[in-house]
Amino acid sequence: MTPQEIKAALGAGLLSFPVTHFDGEGQFQAESYRRHIEWLSGFEAPVLFAAGGTGEFFSLSPDEIPGIVKAAKEASGKTAIVSGCGFGSHVGTELAKSVEKAGADGILLLPHYLIDAPQEGLYQHVKKICQSVGIGVMVYNRDNSVLSVDTLKRLCDECPNLVGFKDGTGDIGLVRQITATMGDRLTYLGGMPTAELFAEAYLGAGFTTYSSAVFNFVPGLAVEFYKALRAGEREHCEKILRDFFYPFMAIRNRRKGYAVAAIKAGVRLQGFDAGKVRAPLDDLTKEEEGMLLDLIGPWKRG
């Protein structure tokens, strides 16, 4: 896909980040992963993100990621695949090139590793990675990599293939200033954990869509909520929030890292051999998995 084509796809509907499947030895399990991608691609998500945050990008080695992207592309049909990318500028540019070669339709640039950086350093980092590839790039604004409006504008001027902005800060004032300044230059995605809890606020701030983690294991429900939100069916949205998302949030909040581990548990409960999360994350307890199973009962895969 060209950068403009992936930009259009990103804004065309609900998005998601499939978990990365591991075998009993903690190695990538391509067969189960492809089955999961194929199942998800049957729902209405125009783009899936391989090896993203929910896909445990932070626990993957750079040489594993192109193989994950390749497996996703083999199973996704017409659904576009965007790859996670990150680390420092040197590793990030090499990774961006390798996933482009593996067939990625775009990259999501996650925050760099560990250290805080000034705006000029962030500008040079994003610019270098954008200019290393021909595919479209999205930046993920969160944690130690929060771009100012001015820095983002400079990057938009310098990098034609910078086509998307994903926010994980929850700073509605900042994101509203960005959408008001950049207009339709970018596609805007909400990226808070369990994004449905914040989706209405982000929609009001000018965001087009968001990435749904729970789409991994209850894709039909995720699409139902998204459609109700876009149609302005507030009572319908609130019922789904009460019946599913708030109880899920209670499970997710029991321990750090459950924003990923609870999603992977849901995928396993739907019958996919996704394996365990890699350290430093930890899996749900048997009791917590039982709670999640009860919650997803009405949407259990046959």
Active site residues: 140, 166
Residue 172 in tokens: 């509605």
Token pair 């009460």 in the structure block, residue: 242
Whether residue 110 contacts residue 76, with contact meaning beta carbons closer than 8 Å, is answered with: no
Nearest to 54 by CA among 197, 260, 258: 260
Q: Which residues pair with 139 in a beta bridge?
A: 109, 165
Q: Which bin fits 278, alpha (ψ -120 to 50), beta or left (φ > 0)?
A: beta
Report the distance separating Cα 206 and Cα 208, nearest Å.
6
Write b or e for each residue in 16-50: b if 16 or more Cβ atoms lie within 10 A of its Cβ, otherwise e. bbbbbbbeeeeebbbebbbbbbebbbeebbbbbbb
CB 87 within 8 A of CB 99: no
User: How many of the other CB atoms lie within 10 Å of CB of 283?
Assistant: 17
For every residue of 141-159, DSSP letters joined together read EBTTB---HHHHHHHHHH-
